[in-house]
Amino acid sequence: MRGSSLKTIALTLSTFAFLGACTLGGESPVLNPYSAARANQLNVGQSGSGNYLAGRYAQKQRDFRVASRMLEKALQDSPKNARLLRSTFLSKLANGDVASSADIAQKIAGTAVRAPIAKLVVFVEAIDKGDLAGAHTVLAKLPNDGFGGFMKPLLQAWVFAGQGRGDDAIAALEPLKTQSGIRVLYELHAALISDVAGNAGAAAKHYKLAGNNAGRSTLRVVQGFGRHLELGGDTSEALALYQAYLRENPDSLVFQPAMKRLAMGEKPTFLATNAVEGVAEALFNIASTMTRQNSAQLALIYGRLSIYLRPDFALAQMLVAGILESMNRYEDAIIIYQSVKSASPLHWSARLRVAGNLEALERDEEAIKLLSLLTKENPTRPGPLVNLGDLLRSNKRFEESIEVYNRAVDILGDFKKRHWTILYSRGISLERSRKWGRAERDFQRALELNPEQPYVLNYLGYSWVDQGINLDRAREMIERAVELRPNDGYIVDSLGWAFYRLGNFKGAVKQLERAVELRSQDPTINDHLGDAYWRVGRYNEARFQWQRALTLKPEPDQVSAIEGKLLQGLGDPKSAEKDG
């Protein structure tokens, strides 16, 4: 089979993707009043137990907006229930209701021995109010292991920095120097604090060490060091630093303001200028690290706290929205993406992600309208064109998608290896539009750019098999695709169908049975297995597979063919098979 659904291809194989675990809830309840809670606009709950069940289920589904509302109602009936108190607190925090979670955090922090997240919220509240002494007192109560082992030194350092104690701040960071994987955090924050303290020489040293420990250009290190250089008058070195990052990340828009500053001779501010901004930076950095470690909900909490301290922190907004997107909370993600201010260089990327989330919500027409607007606003950028082409293709508007892909190709000019996907995507639209010659050329060009790309190997190979041409070469290509993606049911189906077309029906049965195991709900794969069963004389099983294929809603042009096979079969099975 050529590949997954057009919708899936559009979501997973866009050339220009932009800024893309543990649960806060406990056991899943037997009852499910959650959907009713949504239906009644969060006013469900005639009893505390009903509210609790609704809230816990919503929490399990990571719908923290509903969870916090329902659990808060349940808490009114059981205000001394410690477990309910913690669940309500965590749901509010994950939903971004930091201010309203602070009172609960005070209660938890006052009674629990550890409660690191509650104490963190109390700390953040103190920092936000400028109460550095109170923040210092809270930190003393945080554990030194686990969470506190990497977070406490960062927070303590910024409390000292806010008090004008630069040397003490750098000393507070010392525990991070020996912790594997976060040495870059030590160097970055030592540099930021040195800048705040006016120690330019130490800041430059730490920025350089941060870059060395990162191993490649890291956005916040480059931004911090670049601003440091600009403020020190080293504008040519700052420009070289930004250009090096852009060579590694050619689609990035984040340095547009920096380039504009340099051109106009304007000066920036430091990346963090006070304790509030420093703590927000630390929380964002930790959230980013936890995202990479698949601790999504903890990352969400730290990201929310970062935004609470610094509401216009666009990178943190993009991070939080991305986490919500990964949790399939598309509506919530859209709200955060839309909060990125129009003045931010990330505003463009945020709107691209809004379009992606609209598509995930099956609001395709809205997504198409937004992408069309983005292509008009900046017709020189290929990203929105590629995304628009993918979305049109997923809606089977193949001719329109070809036109859009053509415009993107014209903008790109010279192709790089990463551009194989646009040729692959346009090839699919061309093939579906019965323009096989042009489609074949696109697939072959995509393989020239990326010879080991399994999806292209599979699609071209399957197309050849389906047309009965280049069968031996097609089989070799599909076999290689299976080696690269052994658990992809669509690709395994292609190999089975190649064996079928080559007359190796026993081999076809073996591969197609495995394909059905991997993709049991696909009508075409079940239909193929029915054909193979018939050819080896397994007539009842063949009819069963064809009947199943019909129940799985195949494409309209497949229905009559399958119904015909159910009535008449495929004739006598071939007695001899090719070796294949």
Q: Could you give phi then psi for residue 352, rounded to 5 degrees?
A: -60, -40
Strand partners, 571: 569
* Res 141: pLDDT: 86
Give the pLDDT score at 29.
30
- The set of residues, in sequence order, having a beta carbon less than 8 Å from that of 74 and lying 6+ positions away, is 45, 48, 49, 51, 52, 55, 84, 88
Q: Which pLDDT score, from 0 to 100, does residue 289 have?
A: 87
Question: 1-19+346-451 is classed in which CATH architecture?
Answer: Alpha Horseshoe (1.25)
Measured CA to CA, the distance from residue 190 to residue 203 in angstroms comes to 7
- SS3 percent helix, strand, coil of the chain, rounded to 5, is 70, 0, 30
- pLDDT for 209 equals 92
* pLDDT for residue 569: 94
Locate the domains of the chain by residue range. Answer: 1-19+346-451, 473-580
Collapsed DSSP state (helix, strand, coil) of residue 78? coil
The phi-psi region of residue 341 (left if phi > 0; otherwise alpha if psi is between -120 and 50; otherwise beta) is: beta
Distance separating alpha carbons of residues 470 and 472, to the nearest angstrom: 6
Tens of pLDDT along 300-326?
Answer: 999 999 999 999 999 999 999 999 999
The candidate with the shortest Cα–Cα distance to 500, out of 513, 489, 509, 491, is: 509
pLDDT tens digits, one per residue of 103-153: 999 999 888 778 889 999 999 999 999 999 999 999 988 888 877 788 899
196: tokens are 């705040």
Dihedral class, residue 146 (left if φ above 0, else alpha if ψ from -120 to 50, else beta): left
| pLDDT digits 0-9 by tens, 482-529 | 999 999 999 999 999 999 999 999 999 999 999 999 999 999 999 999
CB 371 within 8 A of CB 387: yes
Instruction: Give every residue of the chain whose pLDDT is below 70, as ranges.
Output: 3-46, 214-216, 294, 572-580
Spatial neighbors of 345 by CB under 8 A, at least 6 apart, are 253, 254, 255, 256, 257, 314
Q: What are phi and psi of 173, to 5 degrees?
A: -80, -10
Query: What SS3 string covers 66-100?
Result: HHHHHHHHHHHHCCCCHHHHHHHHHHHHHCCCHHH
85: which 2 tokens? 């108190």
Spatial distance between the Cα atoms of 61 and 302, rounded to a whole number of angstroms: 20
Residue 324 tokens read as 């919500």
CA–chain centroid gap for 471, Å, is 38
Angle at 89 between CA 83 and CA 95, to 5 degrees: 135
pLDDT at 573: 59
DSSP symbol at 569: B
Whole-prediction pTM: 0.83
Cα–Cα distance between 561 and 143 in angstroms, integer? 68
Report the pLDDT value the prediction gives residue 400, as an integer from 0 to 100.
Answer: 97
- Whole-angstrom distance, CA of residue 149 vs CA of residue 169: 16
Question: Taking the CB of residue 368, how many other CB atoms lie within 10 A of it?
Answer: 20
pLDDT of residue 7: 38
Residue 487: predicted pLDDT: 96
CATH code linked to domain 473-580: 1.25.40.10
- Helix 489-501 × helix 454-467 angle, to 10°: 30
* Distance, CA of 318 to chain centre: 11
At residue 273, the pLDDT reads: 96
Amino acid at 301: I
Indicate if 473-580 has the same CATH topology as 1-19+346-451. yes
Could you tell me the two tokens for 185? 């955090």
Q: Name the 3-class secondary structure at 75.
A: helix
d(CA 197, CA 193): 6
Q: Rounded to 5 degrees, what are φ and ψ at 378?
A: -140, 85
Return the pLDDT at 292. Answer: 74
Residues 434-488 have pLDDT tens digits of 999 999 999 999 999 999 999 999 999 999 998 999 999 999 999 999 999 999 9
Tokens of 412: 């790109």
End-to-end CA distance of the chain: 18
Angle between the 275-292 and 147-162 helix axes, to the nearest 10 degrees? 160
